[in-house]
Chains A and B, each alone.
Chain A
Amino acid sequence: MKALCWEGVNKLSVEQVPDPELRNDQDIIVRLVAGTTCGSDLHLIGGYIPAMRAGDVIGHEFVGEVVETGSAVRRHKVGDRVVVSSFVGCGRCWYCANDLWSLCDNTNTNPGVGQALFGYETAGIFGYSHAMGGLRGSHAEYVRVPFADYGAFTVPEGIDDTSALFVSDSVPTGWMGADLGGVKPGDVVAVWGCGAVGQMAARAAILLGAERVIAIDRIPERLEMTERYIGAETIDYTTTDVAAELRERTGGRGPDVCIEAVGMEAHSDGPMHLYDQAKQQLRLQTDRPTAVRHAIHACRKGGTVFILGVFAGAVDKFPLGAVINKGLTVRGSQMHGQRYIPMLLDRLAAGEISTAHLATHSVSLDDAPTAYDMFKHKTDGCVRAVIRPGL
């Protein structure tokens, strides 16, 4: 079958790879209908995520049709249209039982690598390096889905493929930031980043009752999209002092909850950006935490900062003093998709959340490398490119 493979730093190509096969009784095989580019893919494409191998299939956010089921699969049958959580959970370890699915004990087949990096390993994730399980990704004609009874969800009639696609990762990730960030009625919430995850975090904050939600970015079309489809206020950080603007809009207090939805390749317009970029390029730090710093400084005393962006290792100039002296709660997580996906499909069907606008481009698998280049450089108004192997 054809698949989009990582071939080295900033090198992608479409290659012929062996078809996936059922490896366990609880697996299913899914024929891809659609997958999408994700900002976190850019980190591994750029070589910032360790333990990639040339030839690795990337992609982790997808919707498709079940074409084969293992003997122990009970909740799915051939022909089902399913959206699949990007993280794989066994469903029965303590972490899964407590709805902390991205921490599953039994789905990272390379646990020692994650333990060396982080102390304890994460769950496995599709197409996201051998440190995070080494599973093949979803930018292919077919993909194997382990523990399918727990991670694959039948898409209800009435939800189209493109809308359902983003419930695989972007929507639950955003929802998790607002939920685990403790957003409650009356809060003022600031979200750094107006990509798909940031937009969904802003929408979740609104639906959880936030009084005001303010999203921050520099890309005009993303800011406009956030106001139009999400209903949040926006700030363009290239023309506005964000900290001053947030103080003014919050009566001098600062936001109650600050959600960072940018990740390790953050941009900014100050000298710290050049400093961070130089250190990252020289591998003197693995991640650029620009937006995290801003969120910590802007957050009100006693508030919460939730880090949704992907970070892989160590950062420099982390404002620990501000965390301690302002009494902040700082929290982060990879995505516990299985915890939220059924509820989010219901909200999508009810029209409370819209996602189709995120799909600014639609391409074939053959054109996926070009789509990633466009997505990386944010050209042609690209927010998300949807990759359709059937085109």
Chain B
Amino acid sequence: MKRALWMVPVAAVGVAAARKAGAAAHGAGTGDDRAGDRWLTVTVNRPEEDVRRDGKLPEPLERLADRIDVRTRPAPGDRGTELAARLREPTPPAATSVPARLAGQDPRQDVRRALREAKALLEAGEIMLPDSPPTTRPTPGGRLVGLIGRRSGGEGVL
């Protein structure tokens, strides 16, 4: 019973993540008819000239340069630079479905991950890696958490 109950919050995390991201993808229940083409944005605690040094995009966004539009502007309150990106081509609904996202096939995941990594490199000088191996005993619940974790860097609310 206890083991079964433990799965509830794990599943809840997955469902919450999927619903939140699903709502973002399709505008369901949010009244957001721009969900598919919103700018994904991070604020980098560096001046704009550091973020777009020599006019180039910061790594690893530069690697996606042919697929994305990027804009930067100073953040208010001396908070650095707002760095935003979005895919040039509209994302087809099938690519933003929950199965596609769990499979890591939503192209927006690449953009979110690249934004987070660019911010980390610009601010902290490195992308902090998880411990390896993350854990040592495979269980069904652990595999589910592991899958959510692997997708986590490309998901969320940017």
Which of A's residues lie within 8 Å of B, judged by CB?
5, 7-10, 15, 17-18, 20-21, 23-26, 47-56, 72, 88, 90-94, 97, 105-107, 109-113, 115-117, 119-121, 124, 130-131, 133-136, 144, 146-147, 281, 283, 286, 312-313
Identify A116's interface contact among B6, B42, B120, B156, CB under 8 A: B156
Are B128 and A147 in touch, CB under 8 angstroms?
A: yes
Are B45 and A97 in touch, CB under 8 angstroms?
A: yes
Most buried by B among A53, A72, A124: A53
Contacts of A133 in B (CB 8 A): 130
Which residue of chain B lies nearest to A15 when distances are taken between CB atoms in the complex? Answer: B136
Are A54 and B142 in touch, CB under 8 angstroms?
A: yes
Most buried by A among B127, B128, B145: B128
Contacts of A283 in B (CB 8 A): 5, 8-9
Are B20 and A8 in touch, CB under 8 angstroms?
A: no
Identify B125's interface contact among A21, A26, A105, A124, CB under 8 A: A26
Q: A51-B145, A113-B149 are in contact. Are A131 and B13 (CB under 8 A)?
A: yes
Which of B's residues lie within 8 Å of A, judged by CB?
2-3, 5-6, 8-10, 12-13, 16-17, 20-21, 42-43, 45, 79-80, 116, 119-120, 123-137, 139, 141-142, 145-146, 148-149, 151-157
Are A54 and B139 in touch, CB under 8 angstroms?
A: yes
- In Å, the complex CA distance between A20 and B123 comes to 25
Are A106 and B139 in touch, CB under 8 angstroms?
A: no
Are B157 and A9 in touch, CB under 8 angstroms?
A: no
Are A21 and B6 in touch, CB under 8 angstroms?
A: no
Are B128 and A92 in touch, CB under 8 angstroms?
A: no
Are A92 and B17 in touch, CB under 8 angstroms?
A: no
Identify A7's interface contact among B125, B137, B145, B151, CB under 8 A: B137
Are A56 and B135 in touch, CB under 8 angstroms?
A: yes
Are A72 and B125 in touch, CB under 8 angstroms?
A: yes
Which residue of chain A lies nearest to B137 when distances are taken between CB atoms in the complex? Answer: A55
Q: A17-B136, A135-B130 are in contact. Are A50 and B43 (CB under 8 A)?
A: no
Are A115 and B157 in touch, CB under 8 angstroms?
A: yes
Are B9 and A50 in touch, CB under 8 angstroms?
A: yes
Q: A7-B137, A109-B153 are in contact. Are A47 and B130 (CB under 8 A)?
A: no
User: Shortest Cβ distance from B102 into chain A, in angstroms?
Assistant: 12
Contacts of B123 in A (CB 8 A): 90, 92-93, 105-106
- In Å, the complex CA distance between A201 and B141 comes to 37
Q: A94-B45, A124-B128, A283-B9 are in contact. Are A55 and B149 (CB under 8 A)?
A: no
Besides the known contacts A54-B137, A55-B137, A88-B128, 5 further A-B residue pairs in the complex with CB atoms under 8 A apart = A26-B125, A53-B142, A91-B124, A106-B123, A283-B8
Q: A8-B6, A106-B123 are in contact. Are A116 and B128 (CB under 8 A)?
A: no
Which residue of chain B lies nearest to A105 when distances are taken between CB atoms in the complex? Answer: B119
Are B132 and A21 in touch, CB under 8 angstroms?
A: yes
* Overall SS of chain A's interface: loop
Identify B149's interface contact among A105, A107, A110, CB under 8 A: A110
Most buried by A among B5, B13, B42, B154: B13
Are A55 and B16 in touch, CB under 8 angstroms?
A: no
- In Å, the complex CA distance between A21 and B130 comes to 11
Q: List 6 A-B contacts (CB under 8 A).
A: A9-B6, A18-B133, A51-B9, A106-B120, A283-B5, A283-B8
User: Shortest Cβ distance from A11 into chain B, in angstroms?
Assistant: 9
Q: What are the 10 tightest A-B residue pairs by CB atom distance, in nearest-first order? A: A55-B137, A112-B155, A50-B9, A112-B152, A53-B142, A112-B156, A116-B17, A90-B124, A55-B135, A115-B156
Are B2 and A9 in touch, CB under 8 angstroms?
A: yes
Contacts of B129 in A (CB 8 A): 23-24, 109
Contacts of A24 in B (CB 8 A): 126-129
Are A94 and B137 in touch, CB under 8 angstroms?
A: no
Contacts of B154 in A (CB 8 A): 112
Are A121 and B156 in touch, CB under 8 angstroms?
A: yes
Contacts of A136 in B (CB 8 A): 131
Which residue of chain A lies nearest to B131 when distances are taken between CB atoms in the complex? Answer: A136
Identify B16's interface contact among A15, A17, A117, CB under 8 A: A117
- In Å, the complex CA distance between A105 and B3 comes to 33
Most buried by B among A94, A111, A112, A121: A112
User: Shortest Cβ distance from A165 into chain B, in angstroms?
Assistant: 22
- In Å, the complex CA distance between A132 and B130 comes to 11
Are A109 and B2 in touch, CB under 8 angstroms?
A: no
- In Å, the complex CA distance between A95 and B125 comes to 16
Contacts of A54 in B (CB 8 A): 135, 137, 139, 141-142
User: Shortest Cβ distance from B38 into chain A, in angstroms?
Assistant: 15
Contacts of B45 in A (CB 8 A): 92-94, 97
- In Å, the complex CA distance between A33 and B8 comes to 37
Are A106 and B16 in touch, CB under 8 angstroms?
A: no
Contacts of A20 in B (CB 8 A): 131
Q: A51-B10, A283-B9 are in contact. Are A116 and B133 (CB under 8 A)?
A: no
